[in-house]
Amino acid sequence: MDRAALPAAVEPKKKGNVRFAFACAILASMTSILLGYDIGVMSGASLYIQKDLKINDTQLEVLMGILNVYSLIGSFAAGRTSDWIGRRFTIVFAAVIFFAGALIMGFSVNYAMLMFGRFVAGIGVGYALMIAPVYTAEVSPASARGFLTSFPEVFINFGILLGYVSNFAFARLSLRLGWRIMLGIGAVPSVLLAFMVLGMPESPRWLVMKGRLADAKVVLAKTSDTPEEAAERLADIKTAAGIPLDLDGDVVAVPKNKGSSEEKRVWKDLILSPTKAMRHILIAGIGIHFFQQSSGIDAVVLYSPLVFKSAGITGDNRLLGTTVAVGATKTVFILVATFLLDRIGRRPLLLSSTGGMIVSLVGLATGLTVISRHPDEKITWAIVLCIFCIMAYVAFFSIGLGPITWVYSSEIFPLHVRALGCSLGVAVNRLTSGVISMTFISLSKAMTIGGAFFLFAGIASFAWVFFFAYLPETRGRTLEDMSSLFGNTATHKQGAAEADDDAGEKKVEMAATN
């Protein structure tokens, strides 16, 4: 439909509906504050934890990065949990788990108890990271989906900034008390989130999957640009869920196979024997998550005091103050990105962002290398270059690769494999982040800190090529229309009779080819 041809009377409804979807996206995405706060607060708290608990560098590395590995449990469990109890209550569950983890970390008396707190909080983070972008994508109209689905990354950055500010605010407390308050105070936002999320509607796609068409229609009417779009979205979701288009009513029976065959079909379609198009989607979704983390963002954000110290900045107050500037830069540019995603598109922002990151990493690596080779001299231009390149790097990351990773991976997977696909993407994201976080100090010692950032620049270069060759533009597409970008994913084969015929013809063609 030509949006320019819509009557003027439609416009106020469109704005109101975008505002409603905006409010839902805000509430869901606020769960991402939990991860951001942990990343930000640990960067500064680690300075005092190491002194107070008298742990070595290896123990510190593990402490810093292990939460990402623990979050794998939450991200995998979130897919099944969200299909069982719904997207909304899964968000509440994530907040409750993180609340418990934050309290345990805040009251830790030794390294073992602190690690247990990281384990509990990590599960909550895994849940939050998987479910926030899925819910937001499913409740958003196509015209604003990029803007709204970028909110999880916005709140990750806001959480990082809050963590940095917490470091700066509580650094003057006693060594024993300061870092415990930094970590424990993270329980406060999780309580607020759990209560606020209860006021959100459930995802219309989950409601349709459960046969609750009347409830889904209400949500779609509130989150679509026009009544016509709401009807079209409902028809698309019904087809994807295998519900005949002519079947209507408040609650309908959703066709599904007996036993665990439906779950087996999800694994078969996505992992075990995917079509060429589905394989393309899977590689694209996992690949963008891998490159987001392997290009070094956590090395800069989580170890920013160490990086700045290597760049020639000394003193805890100066180090923590400079990290606050990093957090502020990330937050400002992620806000800019939210307004550009649906105007410029995913690919232009992604490619320009990654290109800027490559240049910034090379500049940072060069400055750090020069400084490390002249330890007894204060080379002003190299220090300025390092600071500028760190700020430029986080800015380029935040304007493209940071938010687009969550937007893109949440919108390309077909409905029946979306929960599993997003869980796999989050798992790769957190595992890669964990590896980077738990090896950065050792890597810096083995090949110098400048060499480590040259390595990240090389990985970012591979990422640019991958994005250019493998990721199509998704701006303006409905979630059910994504398969046309990648080919026939056979996701509708349990729907109408025509879809069954198409799937049968595809099998014949594949057999003939083989």
Lowest-pLDDT range of 153-167, 348-362, 482-496: 482-496
DSSP 412-481: HS-HHHHHHHHHHHHHHHHHHHHHHHHHHHHHHHHH-HHHHHHHHHHHHHHHHHHHHHH----TT--GGG
342: helix, coil or strand?
helix
Q: Is the pLDDT of residue 358 over 90?
A: yes
Q: What is the pLDDT of residues 235-255, one digit of tens each?
A: 888 877 778 877 777 777 776
Q: Report helix, strand and coil shares of the chain as percent, to nearest 5.
A: 80, 0, 20
- Mean pLDDT for 180-185 is 91
Label residue 6 by pLDDT band (50, 70, 90).
Answer: very low
pLDDT reported for residue 350: 92
CA distance linking residue 353 with residue 329, whole number of Å: 15
pLDDT reported for residue 113: 94
Label residue 434 by pLDDT band (50, 70, 90).
Answer: confident
Asked if 442 and 451 count as a contact pair (C-beta separation under 8 A), the reply is no
Label residue 11 by pLDDT band (50, 70, 90).
Answer: very low
Q: Angle formed by the axes of helices 175-184 and 151-170, to 10°?
A: 160
Q: Is the pLDDT of residue 504 over 50?
A: no
pLDDT reported for residue 500: 42
User: What domains appear along the chain, each with residue ranges and CATH number?
Assistant: 16-253 (1.20.1250.20), 262-487 (1.20.1250.20)
Label residue 495 by pLDDT band (50, 70, 90).
Answer: very low
Q: Which of 330-334, 360-364, 400-404 has maximum average pLDDT?
A: 360-364
Label residue 190 by pLDDT band (50, 70, 90).
Answer: confident
Stated length of the chain: 514
Q: Which of 57-66, 269-278, 298-307, 470-479 has maximum average pLDDT?
A: 57-66
Flag whether the pTM goes above 0.85.
no
Task: Provide the CA 163 distance to its chain's centre, in angstroms.
Answer: 18
Q: In terms of pLDDT, which residue wins out, 348 or 331? A: 348
